Amino acid sequence: MTRMSLQIARRGFFCLVLGLLALAVRAETVKGLYEANVPVASQDEQARAVAVDTGFRQVLVKVAGSAGVLDNPGVAAALPRANNYLLQFYFTQIDYPPRDSGPAREPGLHVVFPPRAVDDILRRAGEPILPPNRPATLLWLTLDDGAGPRLLSSAVDTTVADWLSFHAARRAMPLLFPQMDIEDSAALTPEQVAALDAEATRRASARYGAESVLVGRLVRASDGSWLGEWRYLGWQDGAHRAGSRR
């Protein structure tokens, strides 16, 4: 389960969501938009430069709300000059949620970039600058390891939920999990979520007042990998769908 949680969160999942953020009734104020903690191989100059570059990219994605911002020619032109924009840095330790194998913490570099400079880069490139007040994205997810789909419960599937929350926080995306109580169970079945049923999911989500909703399914393949499909539901903008292999 831990291996799966790492695979879920690191690739396309959050790129999809960040690119689709819209104002919502339920929102949270995100802190640290212009800073990041990134793994660093060592404390030498070359390793630090790599970490600064990675952190700069993360900050641009967090502020703009989309991984696609890095493909904008105006933004891409600024990427090689990441160190020129660096305001502050220090070496630290990155703590990860519990997992079955691998270190629970690793050396990292904390980097801070000036808000005005980052905003200017995005503004000149014609990219959006999202406010710190971000919508909480409600996540309905089924897991299927061969016994049929079951709904993710943050209280039961703590490892998966912790990793999802960890990576969501690194991308400045507040994440909201359903309570999975009697009302949720009566409103939405695992089969409906696995089918990415937009109407049923919208009805079940109404109680949370969340306009940013993501529904997904993860199915374990015979080779041990996980096949994931995600559908973002915008209450007014319709639905967006994407499939991917993890």
Residue ranges of domains in the chain: 2-28+132-245, 32-124
SS3 192: helix
Q: What is the per-residue pLDDT for 171?
A: 87
SS3 65: coil
What is the longest distance spanned by two Cα atoms in the chain? 57
In angstroms, the CA 42 to CA 48 distance is: 7
With bands split at pLDDT 50, 70 and 90, how would you rate the model's confidence at 98? confident
pTM of the model: 0.75
Residue 242 reports pLDDT greater than 60: no
With bands split at pLDDT 50, 70 and 90, how would you rate the model's confidence at 184? very high
Tokens at 22, concatenated = 């819209």
**Considering only CA atoms, which of 22, 232, 240 is closest in space to residue 135?**
22
Residues 6 or more apart in contact with residue 93 via CB below 8 angstroms: 105, 106, 107, 108
Q: What is the per-residue pLDDT for 8?
A: 44
SS3 172: coil
Q: What angle do CA 19, 23, 25 make, to 5 degrees?
A: 135
DSSP H helices in 65-134: 73-76, 82-85, 115-124
CATH class of 2-28+132-245: alpha beta
Mean pLDDT of all residues belonging to the chain: 84
Across 5-20, average pLDDT: 46
Residue 19 reports pLDDT greater than 90: no
Name the E strands within the chain: 27-29, 35-39, 88-95, 105-112, 133-135, 137-144, 150-151, 175-176, 212-220, 226-234, 238-245
With bands split at pLDDT 50, 70 and 90, how would you rate the model's confidence at 237? very low
Is 110 or 137 the better-scoring residue by pLDDT?
110
